[in-house]
A and B are shown apart, each in its own frame.
Chain A
């Protein structure tokens, strides 16, 4: 009986659902049968139109199927350029969150900025330009010191908020503002944040990708343009994904991992591409080790490196920055130009032999090579983690160096950390 009334209702509606059609067909006979039995004339079911039932309207974004899948790099650039989605190869104007320059390229960048925007021009945002003298400092070279003076004058004139100045050349500890190597200083001072765009006049700016942001190096002219406008024209790079799984053996450092990768793909293997590092091993690395991975992306020709932000990242940033940030992550369906997988538990320490970063060899293959000098330092190798590893070896091997050994901690904070240790 219920189905008869349903069919009757359906027949008077504008359309009939196909399920109801079947029901209507079978009950038609029943109704005629019962109608003739009861004497009532049955209304015939006339199908006027068939259509799918209307659905409540759904916003495309909520279904997830209309938005195209993107990698982390594509998402960061899409948001920074105010596009809903981007594909590799597209050229877009990107809003820059942080511009970093140092004493080598800063004066040239400032010269171009003033020449193009005017002597009285102001930088686009005095809190987003970070100026870090770090390359040729604590020296008697007049031109090098003049270059730091140029930076100082500019920062004073522009009221640049973040200028890590050096005034006392005779004693580096007497400089309260001085931080150290620019890339490590940027991280320690909280200028690297997930989801943001950071450009720097230095090839190792890609170091900051460890924080899940887009970070890459540019020249003076591009930087001069950013200084005036806060924007840069960038081409969206495709992403190569590196999946590193397995437990990290105690004799390996992040440097071994990235040298392994560069040896695999060559010094131009990642040219114009992004390198994304994922996997259980990457998740187990601390921020310094993640920075080492991303730092050497440029040695493979890469445009930028990315490590997805996670609890390790958020914990590191606690207390370092008060700027709000929003991390982004590669979609499950994102397309990568190629995939490399490594079982880290099976890797050995590697070295790069002269004269190229991709001239990879196993360390044990080089055990008969006589070493003349050792240098532990720079943005890649001068972090706390590197000195801890060196110290362990030093204590284990009799507390004596056999060749001249130069230790150059990247920043003041690294030196302090060593004192605690």
Chain B
């Protein structure tokens, strides 16, 4: 378990620190147990997340698949999570890193709440903080292998942006991660406008999720949509989209090409 390793790493580090000072590589000569590791490849991954601003707030959609390489291993992974009162985070990439990030954000929210005053963290604050976290991990050459999407509404201001694993962050009216960048954003560019209603926005996202299901092999037909307005965050239960497979070309695939497999 990665978190157990982390715990043992902490102990080894503390002991090594006492013996050899703070050079992290010095102690591995003495301590035979846990080597220092850096994330070099992701294992359980989530695919695209899509987000658009609409008239009353922000809509963010993602499917619930956790792939283990080329196989779809986990089919009920919640990749959209509310943070505080006004913000939602969605994650692409390594799911265990996403869980660590959620713990970090939890600590941030709780520490802020302990001041017990009327200051709450809004989307821009959390976006900036996440960027700091991701960039600092990247500087240790041990990145959180995620692209995170962040959306929310606070004091009437709609906010939507991304943070990548390299610590790059940006905001826009519509964003996507993973395959969504290549398949969904072009559709956003053509069809998005500022005054979309909830129905129009949902339709647009569902259209793009359908394209992703057809074309992205790590996507599954089980998705959630989150709607963030001034009143808060609402994440839908997972649901499936209508797909169409009864094309004529599929019924007799080898017509005109007998002999090919």
Indicate, yes or no, whether A interacts with B: no
A contacts, CB < 8 Å to B: none
B contacts, CB < 8 Å to A: none
